Amino acid sequence: MPDWGEILVELQTYPNPLHPVDAIRRKYLKQLHDKTGRNIIAYYSAWLQKTGTLQEKTAISDEDKNAFMTTVHKLDPSKGLDLILHTPGGDLAATESIVDYLKSIFDRDIRVIVPQIAMSAGTMIACASKEIIMGKQSNLGPIDPHFGTIPCQAVVFEIEEAIKTLKEDPQSFPVWQTLISKYPPAFIQQCRRAIEFSEEIVGKWLSGNMFKGHSEAETITSNIVKNLMSFEKNKMHSRHLDIDECTGIGLKVFAMENDNVLQDMILSVHHSFIHTIGFNPTTQKIVENHEGRAMFLNSALSNNNQ
């Protein structure tokens, strides 16, 4: 199977009247489907290529539900779903809604494939699958919730530290008052609820699918959630967790390298989507299935169905 550079040459010399990025992307999606016999939906964000205002809509949002409805339409649910994810994450409520929707169609027969990166809420979606397929180049990320750029756990830690310090040294009140006053009313409770929400839904997804029926499901699930949620351990929300880290905390991961043909096909699909994003400067997200049914979410144009 071709690599990134060879696919670029193929794009530049493609004779088909259909735009080469579309024809070649669909060719490799179809080949992957023929290999697995399973439904394929690829969800690609252009966040790595976009900056500034162009990056605003690259995150997971409720807008994506329409794209998944479009790509699920007419698929045979009995064939399961392989969901290819390349995303920075996004809105927690939208993520829960998308997972609930996909599970209502495919039940527990969902695998998540991560060719490169699925961070934050993307990692949460991966935790809802029965198995995650990763390679040596693949990464998941921490799932501790944020409000904008503010980590909820850091806010809670700061408040807890303030309470502890004030009990020991009441004279430090003016210092802590200045620090805490930067948060709007009820913000701390919002942070606590977001943390509880993340722990709850990821724990439920893990125990309900990946470890359903496992004799130690509760222990394994608790350990995974603890590690993925730990701001103290991971240090930063953008930390990249490789396949060894993911298997080390207990996630059920299949290594692409165990099936070289599958690995080559997945990476050909990945390179094709990255090239498509490069050829379309306004594209922020692409959701497409193996039958060529797709929705492009663009920054300067309305959504395009293909």
Residues 82-91: tens digit of each pLDDT: 999 999 999 9
Q: What is the CA radius of gyration of the chain?
A: 21
| Of 12-26, 73-87, 234-248, the least confident | 12-26
Higher pLDDT, 160 or 127: 127
Please tell me the predicted confidence (pLDDT) of residue 139.
98
Please tell me the predicted confidence (pLDDT) of residue 306.
55
| Of 127-141, 175-189, 251-265, 284-298, the least confident | 175-189
Angle between the 187-205 and 152-168 helix axes, to the nearest 10 degrees? 130
| Of 143-157, 199-213, 245-259, the least confident | 143-157
Q: What is the pTM of this model?
A: 0.89
| Of 128-132, 172-176, 208-212, 251-255, the least confident | 172-176
Mean pLDDT of the chain: 90
DSSP secondary structure of 27-67: HHHHHHHHHH-SEEEEEEE-TTT--GGGGTT-SB-TTHHHH
Residues 6 or more apart whose Cβ sits within 8 Å of residue 62: 91, 93, 94, 97
User: How far apart are alpha carbons 238 and 267 in whole angstroms?
Assistant: 23
State yes or no: pLDDT of 185 exceeds 60: yes
